[in-house]
Amino acid sequence: MIQTIEPIGIIHSCFKELFGIPRQPGLARAARGWVEFHPPFDRAEAFNGLEGFSHIWITFLFHKSLDNEMSLTVRPPRKEGKRMGVFATRAPNRPNQIGQSVVALERIENSDGKIALHVKGLDLIEGTPVIDIKPYVPYVDAISDANGGFAHDAPVQRLQVDFSDKASQQVDEFEAAYPELRQLINDILQYDPRPIYVRKLANKKRFGFFIYDLDVKVELISDEKLMVNELRST
Amino acid sequence: MIQTIEPIGIIHSCFKELFGIPRQPGLARAARGWVEFHPPFDRAEAFNGLEGFSHIWITFLFHKSLDNEMSLTVRPPRKEGKRMGVFATRAPNRPNQIGQSVVALERIENSDGKIALHVKGLDLIEGTPVIDIKPYVPYVDAISDANGGFAHDAPVQRLQVDFSDKASQQVDEFEAAYPELRQLINDILQYDPRPIYVRKLANKKRFGFFIYDLDVKVELISDEKLMVNELRST
């Protein structure tokens, strides 16, 4: 049995490229985005009752992995190169390439009868195809005594993040357009978005990443400290 | 963009028909089943690391609804006939007809290199096509302070369930083959599986439902009490 699925909408995200995106939803609580729906799924009646829920599940396609060859094993970041079974991970490159992310529902926008869902705690890239929206139901979904195996503990927030005077002033200015921008940059950098092999390069002290239309320039001050030097509008 | 998906496996469940299936996973903790995988997804390497997790997400197709006409609104059982937006519910008849259920992972069976996952707390019918398995990651998925809107509270366990002497003795005998059978029957009946309109029929005092290969015969004693009269092997 082969089934066809068709996106009902598309993600608009503060994340425009893969580098810098948190590994899981909720890790960067200030990471904002919204879901645009294709007709007829944009109609208000399809969302009647959703306004009472604080969180939603976004079911989506890992569209950046669609051309990859399917593999039964993957190398998750937290296992530092060790191969794990694909069904023991949430890796993007997986059979059917379907993902699910729980995010906070910040606001339901109704613009002339066309619905958009504004969300926080996003871990999805701009342009991600959305194939379903479901309410988060705590009495079913929140299993507080579950054991999360090798992924039980949240990633370590290993880095202190400082802002140069220049960057700090720029952040203040940009926050009018991008709420909680300082928090967002801090959330992304504290988990150290650099791949393991880059972290090991002793002479690689500077890197950048994109959020919204900003190029964030970062410098490694020590093994425990990063400095945001500058933001550039692209 | 249209994407094709292909099942990686199939559900084997104590539930052989829709009537009697709990509305959500976890409501009947003794509801057992297992996932059979199609090659090559049945190979042990694809599950390496899953043994540490207590719960898994099963992503599946609502195959019993595939021929239904798509609707943007549905009538969820707990709203007693009121129309709600399909994206505010987890109703089976939905765009792309993809479901997700979190279940307890009881045991990973490796039979000559072919994997089967044995699960508890199932809410899926025999034959459900499985399209993905993901680990339940508590620090991401367990949002204890989430607000569940109109579905925030678990359904009321409204009925007391008694067993006749005959049924009780039969349950004891069948439990060798079907562990926790008494608990399972109790879990299903205490939520009252009957549709609202049937509950209102004053002269309809008897009904039956199927689990495993058993036909469970039930009698309504009062508005608060049911009696399991007999089990018949089918």
Helix (H, G, I), strand (E, B) or coil at B196: helix
Confidence label for B156 from pLDDT (cuts 50, 70 and 90): confident
Q: What is the mean pLDDT of residues A144-149?
A: 94
Q: What is the reported pTM?
A: 0.95
Provide φ and ψ at A105, rounded to 5°: -90, 105
Min Cα separation A95/chain B (Å): 7
Confidence label for B77 from pLDDT (cuts 50, 70 and 90): confident
Q: What is the mean pLDDT of residues A187-205?
A: 85
Helix (H, G, I), strand (E, B) or coil at A10: strand
Confidence label for B62 from pLDDT (cuts 50, 70 and 90): very high
pLDDT of residue B98: 96
Q: How far apart are alpha carbons B185 and B30 in whole angstroms?
A: 9
Partner A, chain B 75-104, Cβ-Cβ below 8 Å: 79, 83-90, 94-98, 100, 102
| B149·A51 Cβ contact <8 A | yes
Q: What is the mean pLDDT of residues B49-66?
A: 94
pLDDT digits (tens, 9 = 90+) for A9-24: 999 999 999 999 988 8
Q: Tell whether the model's pLDDT for residue B143 goes beyond 80.
A: yes
From B26, B133, B134, residue closest to A140, measured CB to CB? B26
Q: Tell whether the model's pLDDT for residue B201 goes beyond 90.
A: no
The residues with which B206 forms a beta bridge, in sequence order, are: B219
Please report which residue ranges of chain A form alpha helices under DSSP H: 138-141, 165-174, 181-190, 196-199
List the one residue out of B176, B177, B192 whose CA is nearest residue B226.
Answer: B192
Instruction: Map tokens 């925030």 to a residue.
Output: B152
In angstroms, the first-to-last Cα distance of chain A is: 46
More confident residue, A162 or B199: A162
Min Cα separation B97/chain A (Å): 9
Q: Tell whether the model's pLDDT for residue A202 goes beyond 80.
A: no
Confidence label for A212 from pLDDT (cuts 50, 70 and 90): very high
Domains contained in chain A, CATH given: 9-137 (2.40.30.70), 160-233 (3.30.2310.20)
Instruction: Map tokens 């802002």 to a residue.
Output: A163
Exposure string of B59-85, with b = 16+ CB inside 10 Å and e = fewer, is bbbbbeeeeeeeebbbebeeeeeeebb
Exposure string of A74-101, with b = 16+ CB inside 10 Å and e = fewer, is bebeeeeeeebbbbbbbbbbbbbbbbbb
Helix (H, G, I), strand (E, B) or coil at B131: strand
pLDDT of residue B200: 80
Q: Tell whether the model's pLDDT for residue B90 goes beyond 90.
A: yes
Partner A, chain B 15-74, Cβ-Cβ below 8 Å: 24-26, 40-41, 43-55, 57, 59, 61, 63, 66, 72-73
Q: How far apart are alpha carbons B1 and B6 in whole angstroms?
A: 17
Min Cα separation A207/chain B (Å): 28
How distant, in Å, are the alpha carbons of A10, A159, B47, B52 from that of B115? 36, 41, 8, 16
Q: What angle do CA B101, A31, A13 make, to 5 degrees?
A: 85
pLDDT digits (tens, 9 = 90+) for A21-65: 988 898 899 999 999 999 999 999 999 999 999 999 999 999 988
Q: What angle do CA A36, A40, A44 make, to 5 degrees?
A: 70
| B43·A72 Cβ contact <8 A | yes
Residues 6+ positions from B193 with CB-CB distance below 8 Å = B19, B20, B21, B209
pLDDT of residue A196: 78
pLDDT of residue A169: 97
pLDDT digits (tens, 9 = 90+) for B1-31: 778 999 999 999 999 999 999 888 988 999 9
